[in-house]
Amino acid sequence: MKNANDNQTQDLLKGQAMQAIQFIDEVKDAPIDADSILTDDQLGRAGLVKIEAFVRTKTSAAAARKAKQRAKEKAEGIQTVTLTVPTAAKEQLKAVAAEVASGKSLVEAVQSVTSHGQVTKSQAQMIGERVLALTGWKLIIAKAIGIL
- Residue boundaries of the structural domains of the chain: 2-45, 61-113
- pLDDT tens, position by position, 16-69: 666 665 555 555 566 666 677 888 888 888 888 888 888 877 888 888 899 999
Residues 129 and 78: their CA atoms lie apart, in Å, by 41
pLDDT for 71: 93
Residue of 16, 48, 44, 43 whose CA lies nearest to 32: 16
Residues 113 and 98: their CA atoms lie apart, in Å, by 10
Is the pLDDT assigned to residue 111 strictly greater than 70?
yes
Torsion angle (degrees, nearest 10) of CA 120, 123, 125, 126: 80
pLDDT for 66: 92
